[in-house]
Amino acid sequence: MPAGSYIVDSQTTGEVDPRERTDFWSEHIMSLQTSMDFRYADPDPAAFRGRSTRQRTDAYQLVQWQCDQIEYSRTPRLVRQEPDPDYRFLLPLSGEAVLRQGEKEARLTPGMGSLMTLGEPFQLLHDASLRGIIFSIPAREIEGPLNRKSPLATGLDLTTGLGRVVHTMLRSLSEERDHLTATEFDAVSDRVVELLCMLTVDDDRPDASGHLPEVEAMVRRYVREHAADPGLTGTSMARALGWSLRQIQLALQRVGTTPRELIREERLRLVRDRLRCRECDHLTITDLAHSSGFSSASALSTAFRQRFGVSPRAMRSAR
pLDDT tens for 46-82 read: 999 999 999 999 999 999 999 999 999 999 999 999 9
Q: Which amino acid is at 194?
A: E
Q: What span, in angstroms and rounded, lies between the C-alpha atoms of 58 and 145? A: 19
pLDDT tens for 18-29 read: 999 999 999 999
CATH number, residue 300: 1.10.10.60
Residue 261 and residue 139 share a domain: no
pLDDT tens for 1-13 read: 555 689 999 999 9
User: Which of 130, 154, 179 is the last residue before a domain boundary?
Assistant: 179
pLDDT tens for 161-177 read: 889 999 999 999 999 99
DSSP string, 214-240: HHHHHHHHHHHHHTT-TT--HHHHHHH
Residue 138 and residue 97 share a domain: yes
* Residue span of the structural domain in which 24 resides: 7-179
pLDDT the model gives residue 218: 86
Residue 89 and residue 232 share a domain: no
Q: Lowest-confidence range among 150-159, 181-190, 205-214, 286-295?
A: 205-214
The mean pLDDT of 107-130, rounded to a whole number, is 90
pLDDT level of residue 205 (50, 70, 90 thresholds): very low
pLDDT the model gives residue 202: 52
Question: Does a structural domain hold residue 84?
Answer: yes
Q: Mapping DSSP to helix (H, G, I), strand (E, B) and coil, where does residue 123 land?
A: strand
The mean pLDDT of 269-286, rounded to a whole number, is 89
The mean pLDDT of 82-104, rounded to a whole number, is 90
Q: Taking a C-beta distance cutoff of 8 angstroms, is the pair 236, 302 a contact? A: no
Helices (H), the chain: 21-32, 76-81, 139-146, 161-175, 182-204, 212-226, 234-241, 245-253, 259-276, 285-291, 297-308, 312-318
Residue 161 and residue 35 share a domain: yes
The mean pLDDT of 123-132, rounded to a whole number, is 92
Q: What span, in angstroms and rounded, lies between the C-alpha atoms of 67 and 197? A: 29
Q: What span, in angstroms and rounded, lies between the C-alpha atoms of 10 and 53? A: 4
Question: Does a structural domain hold residue 76?
Answer: yes
CATH number, residue 21: 2.60.120.10
Question: Does a structural domain hold residue 148?
Answer: yes
Question: Does a structural domain hold residue 1?
Answer: no
Residue 262 and residue 122 share a domain: no
Query: What is the pTM assigned to this prediction?
Result: 0.68
Degrees to nearest 5, angle at CA 118 with 112 and 122: 70
User: Which of 179, 197, 223 is the last residue before a domain boundary?
Assistant: 179
Say whether pLDDT at 245 is over 90: no
Q: What span, in angstroms and rounded, lies between the C-alpha atoms of 50 and 132? A: 12
Residue 46 and residue 160 share a domain: yes
Say whether pLDDT at 235 is over 60: yes
Residue 15 and residue 56 share a domain: yes
Total of domains in the chain:
2
Residue 85 and residue 25 share a domain: yes
**Crossing angle of helices 259-276/182-204, nearest 10°?**
160
275-309: burial string, b at 16+ Cβ within 10 Å, e else: bbeeeeeebebeebbbebbbeebeebbebbeebbe
Q: Lowest-confidence range among 83-97, 178-192, 207-221?
A: 207-221
pLDDT the model gives residue 175: 96
Question: Does a structural domain hold residue 49?
Answer: yes
Residue 171 and residue 28 share a domain: yes
User: What sign has the CA pseudo-torsion 87, 139, 83, 23?
Assistant: positive
52-85: burial string, b at 16+ Cβ within 10 Å, e else: bbbbbbbbbbbbbbbbbbbebebeeebbeeeebe
Residue 139 and residue 248 share a domain: no
User: Which of 154, 179, 204 is the last residue before a domain boundary?
Assistant: 179
More confident residue, 144 or 210: 144
Question: Does a structural domain hold residue 18?
Answer: yes
Question: Does a structural domain hold residue 159?
Answer: yes
Question: Does a structural domain hold residue 175?
Answer: yes
pLDDT the model gives residue 247: 83
Share of the chain above pLDDT 70, in %: 92
Residue 232 and residue 171 share a domain: no
Backbone angles phi, psi at 93, to 5 degrees: -100, -25
Residue 47 and residue 169 share a domain: yes
